[in-house]
Structure 1
Amino acid sequence: MRKLLAGSLVAATVITGAATPARASDAGTRARQSYEALQRYLYQGPDGHDLFLENYPKQPTDQQHSYVWPLREATAATVSIAETSGRYRKDVKDRFAALQLYWNGDSARPGYESYLPPPLGGGGDIYYDDNAVIGLELIRGYEASGDRTLLQRAKQAFAVDTRAWDTDTSRACPGGMAWVDNPANNFRAANVTGLSSELATHLFRITHDRDYLAWGTRLYAWNRKCLQQSPGLYWNDIGYDGTVNKTLWSYNSGSMIGAATLLYQATGTRSYLDNAVADANGALDHWTQGDNLYNQPAIFNAILFNNLLLLDSVRHDPRYRSTIERYADREWASNRDSATGLFHFQSSGGGAYDPAFPAQTLEQSAMVQIYAALAWKQGDLWRIA
């Protein structure tokens, strides 16, 4: 989430393809084809430590392997598609093993680093949003497998994120979570705060440790108080000086829909469900206007969509799935190279098809996640996000 958080998107014209909403079987086929392209062109194989490239073709400025965020999304893609077929179980194990290569437990401030620590790389900063989404994926892996090692790692990831909570009560809107574990950080961000609320609430649901519930409710309440523009829309961040970055991203809508849904499931408090539904309606009213959704990064939309389906498991609304289907069909028709199965977006921020722009592990994984999610059984959606 490095490059995207700091800037704003340039609107792009997207080629509209005629599309009929895909059935679950069609979505499953598309997920498999997109995953096979990810594996063929971006996966580096056992000799490459089961890691991925950042881009295909590899760019002159790329490191030897991807940063941790693309690998997290490749892991999420693998977990999601494994839900639709038993043939990817080994791949799931490989992904979680590779993800652990980014964990630096030797530091006085441990965490998943943005790039591989020694001996495979030179390491990188610890971004709290990376640790939040990794923790969430570890939860999904635990729910699918029962592997308590993954649960323990999710707890460790959340412990990293507790360092992000700002305790300076003199700031405008005290609280909230820093983006990166670096003295230069000077703002509290919606993404890490909302995603960490989801992670904490998942951990409460599993462990019944009320400290996790206290964190989940605290983080959720701060985002609503300090960064909610309107139902379903959340400003990006607030500086230590009180300056608000009013950029809107679809995944901030998604994390708060998911956090409210999980808090409702954890507590039975009806207001959380009401908030989740209101946020879903507000988010869809905004993101389905014009090309708003298509000008967002595909990975941000994948997070929004999974959280809409999580809410759908509690309060069904056909609008959630139909929105995802329309997006998935349009991207299949207009943004995919049929010769390779790779998606080429106009920029790292989304937009129209551009074969001159490299395919990315990040966005290819996002499309796998989106198609796979449409193929999940309704009864399993409670653990999709």
Structure 2
Amino acid sequence: MLLSVFSCNSEPSIQDQMVDNPGDDGQNENPDEGEELSYKEKAFATYEMIQQLYKKGDLYKENFPEQNGDREYSYLWPYVGMLTAGNVLYELGYDREILDKQFTGLEEYYDNRDYLPTYQAYPVSGGATDHYYDDSAIVAMELINAYELTNESFYLERAKTVTDFIMSGEDSRMGGGLYWFEGQSDNCTNGPNCMKAANTSAYAAYVTSKMYQLTNNEAYLTFAKRVYEWTYTTLRDPSDNLYWNDINIGSEQINTTKWTYNAAMMIMSAVNLYEISDDQEYLDEAVTTARSAHSKFTKVTNGRIFYPPNDSWFNVELLTAYIQLSQYDSKTKDYVEVFKDNMDYAWENARNNEGQFYEDWSGNNEGRFYWLLHQAALVEAFGRIAIYENQ
């Protein structure tokens, strides 16, 4: 996934995907103080705020206010946050037009090349950029969600096309797994981006297992099991059952950074594989990772348990995983309640005068409040809870 300051020639390191970059101090005032809104209403109110501040034609700006180096439109990664918003709001009963608008804009990123067409990192009108396996996977997830919500064949057929690209990111180097992006794939020999990554591999396992559930194509299931197993055996830290970020092909060194979303996608992939196979081992692995993620990624701040004060979109992926797992594991419902408390606190204590949420939901640091992705994450979070609670 591509942060806005990167161009296709800058070869960003995966470690730079998410970095602390606090903004200037701002006033911590709640624009809707006194209003008692449901989670469903909070999701829509956050979406409306984004329309007012970030919307640009059929697409969105990367940041509000604009940051140094911003291009005309956002990169694909934060745009997919708005695809999620469209799907979630439609599932909650809001107008179908919201979903349609997001997917219409998505086509601006589609590179309809002859070989393995997929979505590129920046709108095609802005020139050629690279094709990221994780970006394509999160797009595929939303195409799948849109298909399940609308039953329109376009979404499933496009998901098949994108999944073909995703699956091309795997080869036998380092025993398997997926590269981060196409430009640093099978011909690379060194450098920080010449590696196999937990995020691409876990997302690929999730997407292909979902595609199997929809199509019964055995090739998807074979791939999902293989890539899940590679990630589990190669990048899992056996001391805590969380996942290291990547393994470098040139040096064979493991980047031991751990992110909430890598845990999330392995939980979600394992749940899918459990549902397909009825193999209890997959569910046990999901539960073990969920327990550890709650223990390792939380700390007490302002007298409350909070998930990490940075990278809120990553954290919301973990919320989504907990919700999926909670139907099989009642303890996971407690973790969802912690997220709800975090979100409630953020609504009251971690927004600025424009209604933008701080990156740190405890309200102690604005962080990169200006980034579209961090705002889209709250539409998803409130929406997921509203669906979870049948609002």
Q: One-letter code of the match for 1:115? A: Y
Q: Note if contact 1:313-1:378 (Cα within 8 Å) is conserved in structure 2.
A: no
Matched, 1:305 2:310: no
Q: Distance in 1 between matches of 2:167 and 2:241?
A: 25
Q: One-letter code of the match for 1:229? A: D
Unaligned runs of 5+ in 1: 18-23, 381-385
Q: TM-score, normalised by structure 1?
A: 0.86
Q: Distance in 2 between matches of 1:365 and 1:272?
A: 31
Q: Note if contact 1:249-1:296 (Cα within 8 Å) is conserved in structure 2.
A: no
Q: State the shift of 1:90 in Å.
A: 0.5
1:202 pairs with one of 206, 210, 214? 210
Matched, 1:293 2:298: no
* Secondary structure class of the residue paired with 1:336: coil
Q: Note if contact 2:236-2:242 (Cα within 8 Å) is conserved in structure 1.
A: yes
Matched, 1:238 2:237: no
Deviations 1:15-51 (A, max 9, x none): 999xxxxxx962122212111101111122xxx2x11
The 5-angstrom pairing of residues 146-295 of structure 1 reads 146-168=151-173, 171=174, 174-183=175-184, 185-230=193-238, 231-240=240-249, 241-290=251-300, 293-295=307-309
Q: One-letter code of the match for 1:75? A: L
Q: Which moved more, 1:238-247 or 1:102-111?
A: 102-111
Q: State the shift of 1:109 in Å.
A: 4.4
Q: Tell me which residue corresponds to 1:383.
A: none
1:323 pairs with one of 338, 344, 350? 338
Deviations 1:191-238 (A, max 9, x none): 010011000000000101111111111111111100011455100000
Q: Tell me which residue corresponds to 1:371.
A: 382
* Secondary structure class of the residue paired with 1:246: strand
The 5-angstrom pairing of residues 96-175 of structure 1 reads 96-117=103-124, 120-168=125-173, 171=174, 174-175=175-176
Q: Considering only aligned residues, what root-mean-square deviation do their CA atoms show, in Å?
A: 2.7
Q: Tell me which residue corresponds to 2:2.
A: 2
The 5-angstrom pairing of residues 326-345 of structure 1 reads 326-337=341-352, 339-345=353-359
Q: Note if contact 2:136-2:166 (Cα within 8 Å) is conserved in structure 1.
A: yes
Q: Distance in 2 between matches of 1:180 and 1:65?
A: 21
Q: State the shift of 1:149 in Å.
A: 0.7
Q: Distance in 1 between matches of 2:14 and 2:165?
A: 20
Cα–Cα, structure 1 residues 137 and 272, in superposed 2: closer, same or farther, change >3 Å? Answer: same
* Secondary structure class of the residue paired with 2:237: strand
Q: State the shift of 1:159 in Å.
A: 0.7
* Secondary structure class of the residue paired with 1:234: strand
Q: One-letter code of the match for 1:263? A: L
Cα–Cα, structure 1 residues 16 and 218, in superposed 2: closer, same or farther, change >3 Å? Answer: farther
* Secondary structure class of the residue paired with 2:322: helix
Q: Note if contact 1:79-1:141 (Cα within 8 Å) is conserved in structure 2.
A: yes
Q: State the shift of 1:363 in Å.
A: 0.7
Q: Distance in 2 between matches of 1:232 and 1:94?
A: 40
Q: One-letter code of the match for 2:111? A: N
Deviations 1:173-195 (A, max 9, x none): x1110001014541000001001
Q: Distance in 2 between matches of 1:303 and 1:350?
A: 18
Q: Note if contact 2:196-2:246 (Cα within 8 Å) is conserved in structure 1.
A: yes
Q: Note if contact 2:137-2:163 (Cα within 8 Å) is conserved in structure 1.
A: yes
Q: TM-score, normalised by structure 2?
A: 0.85
2:43 pairs with one of 11, 19, 31? 31
Q: Note if contact 2:116-2:161 (Cα within 8 Å) is conserved in structure 1.
A: no
Q: One-letter code of the match for 1:332? A: W
Q: Distance in 1 between matches of 2:93 and 2:159?
A: 25
Deviations 1:276-313 (A, max 9, x none): 11111111111123467233301101111111101113
Q: One-letter code of the match for 1:368? A: V
* Secondary structure class of the residue paired with 1:345: coil
Q: One-letter code of the match for 1:5? A: I
Q: Note if contact 2:197-2:245 (Cα within 8 Å) is conserved in structure 1.
A: yes
Cα–Cα, structure 1 residues 285 and 100, in superposed 2: closer, same or farther, change >3 Å? Answer: same
* Secondary structure class of the residue paired with 2:245: strand
Deviations 1:72-121 (A, max 9, x none): 1111012112222333x10101111211221112253422100111xx21
Q: State the shift of 1:379 in Å.
A: 7.7
Q: Distance in 2 between matches of 1:334 and 1:216?
A: 41
1:79 pairs with one of 75, 79, 87? 87
Q: Which moved more, 1:271-280 or 1:183-192?
A: 183-192
The 5-angstrom pairing of residues 11-50 of structure 1 reads 26-44=38-56, 48=57, 50=58
Q: Note if contact 2:117-2:165 (Cα within 8 Å) is conserved in structure 1.
A: yes
Q: Which moved more, 1:320-329 or 1:250-259?
A: 320-329
